[in-house]
Structure 1
């Protein structure tokens, strides 16, 4: 009898935990407003985009985007700093309501998360290396050890396409330190982040970004798959549309002295185009939305 009761208790506990987990993974817009707080995952190790300042506060362009959303909703903002390898789990586990963390839109990630359209930024892949290495073409990487960060979508593509020996370390900081220490010949990284790093004398004096950018891919805000088609998805999509139309993303980019993005310029122009007296891209995302608007 005691064993039976224990089994029933265990089953009940499992069901309760499962329900709590599902609820955490499907935080609705109404729940966020009722709670009075928006929890956003942002990078904590990418200069200008999301990083910790001297006081330990997470600052950057993406934390500013998160604050814009929270202010519009009339709720408090809680930022959760994540590393590249932690981003997807942060959403799937319900640790964060939304993720704004330099997340590129790939088919694999579309299966795991709900990626919001339109995209809010874009970047490609380039190389940070010492000037003395004299890299000129991507094919120069064959059989050379290069560092990257765990979870980056381009690790396997660089290995397969160019024959590089990619060492994927846990964080950007570890990868950068490995490059400084000479444990790898180069760092494979987002071109926008490299451009930001090269603004600092510690990198600009001895390092360079020598390659033509490859694998250009747009970035997405992500939420839990259970929220697909829900009010939170619709709200975030509308917010990004407004950002493109009113030039807000370019304003924040300028605030953080990030090199101007052609992607933002193109999207600003596209979302302000009209077909007669109507917006070319419309006011919301639908199956008929032109591809250039996404």
Structure 2
């Protein structure tokens, strides 16, 4: 075969190859384009597409952050925030209330079972290794409840809150804390010599402080104030010590990869903080007691 014939055959094969490549690419381009578009969707896009904001929340009511009213409706600071966020996004809201510890709320979110977590969540450094947190929307104070009789017997000179706190960091001193909460880490950090006793039930922990099985407990001021409201005689047996310099900042959690959703939530919080609606919501539930009779 001479050289001109070889060149002719080569040109034919080259043209055929180009045509087949074009056909294959054309046939596959719609699927490829759809896959690329799907991969480019943000969590905000997914939420709007499904028409629902899925919120994970602790299974028990924790007034006034989330609880059921007399009509059976879910109310409180966190449900109202979630409902307002969903409204601003133009979608419905649904609540997943299966987690039985606050750490389990984080686990559910991390595994993709929800879009966000609004559940009286402390934005601790340990939790921030698993999820991202928004700016805080409320700040609580850590609080101690101390058995008055044991305090008088063991540390009669401890009168002020600071003096009491110093005495708590001693070996063998039992301090109760709710398992699966940020307060386990708070207790270890501030009272490393004390003996932490983990509880799943706040009522039982209170009872053990009253009976003297515990010297004290550590929890947020909200739970302690709720208990004191329902049991006004508690002050006769237990001393409430507010830790003003120990803040418990509460924030919304999102998955680590949902950067756009996190940015949107921070902008949302900034706007409701600036227009005063966040402050009004917090005051409605934290500074007033009308919600208790609704």
- Please indicate the TM-score interval, normalised by the length of the shorter structure: 0.5 to 0.7
TM-score (normalizing by structure 1): 0.68
Q: 1:210 aligns with which of 230, 241, 258?
A: 241
Q: 2:275 aligns with which of 241, 246, 251?
A: 246
Are 1:50 and 1:59, in contact at CA under 8 Å, matched by a contact in 2?
yes
User: Any residues of structure 2 matched to 1:99-118 within 5 Å, and which?
Assistant: 99-116=117-134, 118=135
User: Any residues of structure 2 matched to 1:28-67 within 5 Å, and which?
Assistant: 28-43=43-58, 44-53=60-69, 57-67=73-83
Consecutive unaligned residues in structure 2, runs of 5 or more = 1-37, 152-157, 289-294
Are 2:178 and 2:200, in contact at CA under 8 Å, matched by a contact in 1?
yes
Q: Which residue of 2 aligns with 1:123?
A: 140
More moved, 203-212 vs 77-86: 203-212
Q: Which residue of 1 aligns with 2:105?
A: 87
Structure 1 pair 212–218 and aligned structure 2 pair: CA distance change class (3 A): closer
1:216 counterpart SS class: strand
Give the root-mean-square deviation of aligned CA atoms. 2.9
TM-score (normalizing by structure 2): 0.68
Are 2:175 and 2:215, in contact at CA under 8 Å, matched by a contact in 1?
yes
Q: Deviations over 1:30-65 (max 9, x none)?
A: 111221211112343422112345666543211111
Structure 1 pair 74–192 and aligned structure 2 pair: CA distance change class (3 A): same
Consecutive unaligned residues in structure 1, runs of 5 or more = 1-22, 260-294
User: Any residues of structure 2 matched to 1:106-255 within 5 Å, and which?
Assistant: 106-116=124-134, 118-134=135-151, 136=161, 137-141=164-168, 142=170, 143-159=172-188, 161-162=190-191, 163-172=193-202, 175-176=205-206, 178-179=208-209, 183-201=213-231, 204=234, 206=236, 207-227=238-258, 229-230=259-260, 232-255=261-284
Computing the radius of gyration from Cα coordinates, the structure with the larger value is: 2
Q: Does 1:97 align with 2:110?
A: no
1:96 counterpart SS class: coil
Q: Which residue of 1 aligns with 2:7?
A: none
Structure 1 pair 144–54 and aligned structure 2 pair: CA distance change class (3 A): farther
Q: Which residue of 1 aligns with 2:13?
A: none
- Number of equivalences: 232
More moved, 214-223 vs 134-143: 134-143
Tell me how far 1:86 sits from its aligned partner: 1.4
Are 1:197 and 1:203, in contact at CA under 8 Å, matched by a contact in 2?
no
Structure 1 pair 241–186 and aligned structure 2 pair: CA distance change class (3 A): same
Tell me how far 1:154 sits from its aligned partner: 3.6
Q: Deviations over 1:91-150 (max 9, x none)?
A: 11222211112222222222210112x321222311124444447511332322222111
